[in-house]
Amino acid sequence: MSPVEKNPVRVNLIACGDLGTGVALQLAARGDQPLALRRNVAALPPAIPAMALDYTDPASLAQLAEHPADISVLTPTPPARDVDGYRQGYLRPVENLLALWADLPPQQLIYVSSTRVYGDAGGAWVDETSALAPADGQAQILVEAEQRLLASHHQVSVVRFSGIYGRSPSRLLERIRRGEIVSREPAHYSNRIHRDDCVGFLLHLLGLQQRERLYLANDDLPALSHEVESWLAAMMGVDDPRETVAPPSANRRCRNGLLHASGYQLRYPDYRAGYGAMLGKPATGP
């Protein structure tokens, strides 16, 4: 008996930036049918089918009607870091997409959000069941965008990524090369996930028949910021770094139980593995 051929999966990657590009390249390589949608398609690799589209403009977004997909992935980014930028980058595309899909049967969507929605937890653990505590207007916009999607009749999975690293250049590594690290006190936990695991997890979700409504995507080792930066300084050969930078205010530890329960295996389970790969050195330490 000949093997059953799998039909290519049609995936619309809306606001296709770095993560979307990584997903699209792997989808195309395995024979699926990605379509990258963004304003500047010239920035995309030629191997990715693409269409110029502005997701903040309802008339432009209406072009999606001519390109139905089995599932869409929305990876928004704000044009500015203030509240208006977040409203333009996160909330407006969600409103426009829901308006476009208002009269359609349930559509499948994976939406990329942020652990910023949790605010400060005083170093305590948070997961998908934890109460949200947006500490600023930007985080409140993130919460509102999530809630609108999850309240719709569509099949939505929200992925809250923690601090994404793995891109070059890295502002953190540049600061440490200057000999500056965060202070030991107050003790502050940091959370991260490597860019390649972000891409890998999104691809993993695309292959699942059943998905949870929420995922917190983090590596296996939330760690004190001072510990991470001291380790990096040692790895980079920075002697006697100065504690000149105060830790950020949001202090929490992100639990990734549902990520593991989905069957995904992290390529970089902790900061030593991820940053060691970036620096071209084997990971060391306990």
Mean pLDDT by 10 residues, the chain (286 residues): 69 97 97 96 95 95 94 95 96 97 97 96 97 94 98 98 93 96 94 98 97 98 97 96 88 98 98 96 57
State both tokens at 150. Answer: 């999850």
pLDDT of residue 2: 44
Please report the domains of the chain, with CATH numbers, ordered by start residue.
10-168+191-221+253-268 (3.40.50.720)
Predicted structure pTM score: 0.95
pLDDT of residue 159: 98
pLDDT of residue 283: 59
Among residues 117, 113, 118, 69, which one has the least CA distance to residue 94?
Answer: 113
Q: What are φ and ψ of residue 99, in 5° steps?
A: -65, -40
pLDDT of residue 285: 47
| 14 strand-pairing partners | 37, 74
pLDDT of residue 125: 98
pLDDT of residue 249: 80
pLDDT of residue 110: 98
Query: Are 49 and 34 spatial neighbours (Cβ–Cβ below 8 Å)?
Result: yes
Q: Which residues of 15-28 are buried (b: 16+ CB within 10 A; e: fewer)?
A: bbbebbbbbbbbbb
State both tokens at 10. Answer: 């049609």
pLDDT of residue 247: 83
pLDDT of residue 282: 64
pLDDT of residue 248: 80
Q: How far is it, in rounded angstroms, from Cα 176 to Cα 230?
A: 9
